[in-house]
Every structure is written in C-alpha cells, then in structure tokens.
Amino acid sequence: MACKLSELVVDSRDPEALAAFWAAVLDYRVLGREADGSVEIGPEAGFGGAAPTLVFGPVADPTPGKLRLHIDVNPTDRDQDAELERLLSLGARPADVGQTGDEGWHVLQDPEGNEFCLLRRRLEP
C-alpha cells in the first residue's frame, strides 16, 4: 500500500487572509479553524477526499529564502489568459524566477510571497 497526499501545511503570517485567497483560487471552502489560529480549507468532500486540503498555520516569521515546494494550478472553466487575470484580481502578483518568456506557464506569488505556477492546460473541474 502507498501513501495518499491528504493535506499541505503552509506557514503564514495571516492564516485567515491566505486561506481566503487560496479558497477563492481553488473554489475551496473553510473546513475548520483551530485554537492556535490555523485555518483548513478544502473541497466540499473535505479531508481525505480526492483532493488534498490546505492548512494555513500561523508563524510570526515564515522561513526566508526560496521555498523548496510550490503549488501548480490549472484553469478549469476558462483559458489561461482569463484565469491569469482572475488570479491577479484576487491578489496574486507576477514573480520573476528567471523565465525566458517562452514558458507555457506563469509564475506568480500569493499575497504572502509564496510562488506558484499557473499552467496552460485546462483540467476538468
């Protein structure tokens, strides 16, 4: 038997705000809040479903420097350009990590500076 990815934990200065951003990006909902200020978001099915949940945990000073992990997202109901505009309107910012301009993806940062990529291929919701 293999493992299943069930959740991804993200250090955050403002878990509520970052959870709201990612919930809007992924069409997730808040699944729970912990006494320490952590916020878990996920799909309607909740924890243990087909898609992993995201837990935003409060930290006073997130680890500086390049993260060793980032999230890739794909549009589901629009093309890449329209989804890029939506993500930017939610608070994402373009990030320069040395792209040539010929890539099929956009590198962005969430409101706390975590890098993620918007890929081109549309996926079924």
What domains does the chain contain, in order, with CATH numbers? 1-59 (3.30.720.120), 69-125 (3.10.180.10)
Q: Identify the burial level of 11 via C-beta atoms within 10 angstroms of its C-beta, where 0-12 means exposed, 13-18 middle and 19 or more buried.
A: middle
Residue 98: band (very low, low, confident or very high) from pLDDT cuts 50, 70, 90: confident
* Per-residue tokens: 29: 């909902």
Percent of the chain predicted with pLDDT > 90:
66
Helix, strand and coil content of the chain, in percent to the nearest 5, comes to 20, 25, 55
Q: What is the pTM of this model?
A: 0.86
Residue 22: band (very low, low, confident or very high) from pLDDT cuts 50, 70, 90: very high
pLDDT over 70 at 105, yes or no: yes
